[in-house]
Amino acid sequence: MSQSPLEDTFLECEALFAKPDSLVRVVLSGRRRNMQTEHERIDMRPIALKDGLHIQVSHSDGRQMTTKNYKPADAPFAQLIRSGYANVLLEHTDGSLSLRITKKGEPLVHREISQNEQDLAHDRSKSRLLDPSDPFLIAIGISDSDGKVKPSKSDKYLQVEEFLRLLVPTLTSAISAGHIHKPTEANPLTIVDLGCGHAYLTFAAHQYLRSQSIPVTVIGIDVRSAARDRNNEIAQQLGISTTIEFRAEEIADTTLKSADIAIALHACDTATDDAIGWAINSDARLALIAPCCHHDIQAQMNEIPEPWSLITRNGIMKERLGDLLTDALRMQIMKLRGYRVEAIEFIGGEHTPRNLMIRAVKTGAAPDASEERKYDEMLNLWKVKPALATLVNR
């Protein structure tokens, strides 16, 4: 008897997973409609232990990574792929399969032929996306001249890596779902990094995506002209200035009119709103934004609706609630403008306290009237108006 298309795809994934000799990695992420998952994301990969190949299954509880190793036949793969994750990325040595499960429970599958290398090292810290001795990491100052990550830059290095770990599967699923065009050298993806600073993420996104045969052009925007000059000079030195460029501009006034993907890592305070506002107004298809410090809503939290003073009478808790309100309202504005939005923790809190990422894919879906109401009620309840609302004329 023929199965449902989704079940057929699960079985195809199981068959690929059942060959640990050629399995490279699996990432489960996102949540299917009306389903709850125990973890934000699960990573699985084969590792070599003394008694043979095992499957390492990892997830983060926000503070630290938990890993468990299973004999291949015992790994709970079949159960996990059916447990509510919306995206499955399965890489093997000859290619990859990415599955996105739609709201209606239909599978959108993208298969690619590519050569992927297995890394069976047990110690996860050795399985890096960015080789510290890569000349670009030395040029931008993350690594020293011996190709070792500078101690003062190790948190930034990890933030950038984890950002990329999320960017790539998000991008692949958005391409396979048709939310973003399939890039070619003639028609590459454009990525803008808003508030790029020393451009660690900007260069890393350019170099890593190109190394994965994803044609991209990348633009970094930062208000500081010294940053622009330094970054353009490094791009020249690396011989990549035809596909990466930097501009010294305010995000809100940038001359850049469009990009497929907007990224921002810790753009200060309302510069994050400028970045999201730019993404919405320029119709970016994908936005990955890790906010920085928040002051805008906190400064407006003067009339506290009871019984919330239970929280706000403690300074640190008021601050955290202000952060949550700010990001929740930013996300709701994006939702109301046709984005599917999630908040995810992109790195453990020990590497940065600013470890939340807003991930948004433009689907164009019209929001329910109830979502408009919830947004209005939240503003009325707290007597606040988010900076982003003004930027997008809400």
* Tokens (6 digits) for 13: 């994934």
Which of the stretches 12-20, 196-204, 229-237, 312-320 binds ligand SAM when contact is defined by CB under 6 A?
196-204
Q: Which one among 179, 266, 294, 330 touches ligand SAM, defined by CB under 6 A?
A: 266
| Segment 135-138 long-range contacts (CB within 8 Å, at least 24 positions apart) | 135/238, 136/203, 136/204, 136/207, 136/238, 137/204
Distance (Å, rounded) from C-alpha 274 to C-alpha 181?
A: 25
30 lines the binding site for ligand SAM (CB under 6 A): no
| Among positions 108, 120, 292, 341, the unique one binding ligand SAM when judged by CB under 6 A | 292
Using the rule CB under 6 A, is 177 a contact of ligand SAM? Answer: no
- The residue assigned the tokens 């499960």 is 101
**Is there binding between residue 189 and ligand SAM (CB under 6 A)?**
no
Chain position whose Cβ is nearest to ligand SAM: 197
Smallest gap from Cβ 137 to ligand SAM, in A, equals 14
CB of 349 to ligand SAM, least distance (A): 16
Q: Between 8 and 229, whose beta carbon lies closer to ligand SAM?
A: 229
**Does 274 help bind ligand SAM (rule: CB under 6 A)?**
yes
Going residue by residue from 120 to 149, which x/- string records binding to ligand SAM, judged by CB under 6 A? ------------------------------
Per CB under 6 A, the list member of 40, 222, 323, 327 interacting with ligand SAM is: 222
Contact 122, 58 (CB under 8 A): no
Contact criterion met (CB below 8 Å) for 85 and 28: yes
| 231-257 core/surface letters (b: 16 or more CB in 10 A; e: else) | bbebbeebebeeebbbbbbebbebebe
* 196 makes contact with ligand SAM (CB under 6 A): yes
Q: Which strand (E) or helix (H) includes residue 96?
A: strand 95-101
Q: What is the DSSP letter of 229?
A: H
CA proximity to 59, closest of 33, 93, 85: 85
**Per-position b or e across 21-39, b if 16+ CB within 10 A of its CB:** eebbbbbbbbebeeeebeb
Residue 267 touching ligand SAM (CB under 6 A): yes
Name residues contacting ligand SAM, limited to 154-173 (CB under 6 A): 156
Which of 31, 110, 224, 295 is close enough to bind ligand SAM by CB under 6 A? 224
- Binding of ligand SAM by 382 (CB under 6 A): no
What residues between 65 and 104 interact with ligand SAM by CB under 6 A? none
Q: How far is the CB of 163 from ligand SAM (least distance, A)?
A: 9
> Is the dihedral angle over the CA atoms 276, 280, 281, 282 positive or is it negative?
positive
Would you count residue 250 as binding ligand SAM (CB under 6 A)? yes
Determine whether 117 is exposed, middle or buried from the number of CB atoms within 10 Å of its CB (0-12, 13-18, 19+). Answer: exposed
**Rounded CA gap, 183 and 124, in Å?**
31
The residue from 180, 259, 271, 392 that contacts ligand SAM (CB under 6 A) is 271
Query: Which positions touch ligand SAM (CB under 6 A)?
Result: 156, 195-198, 200-201, 221-224, 227, 250-251, 265-268, 271, 274, 292
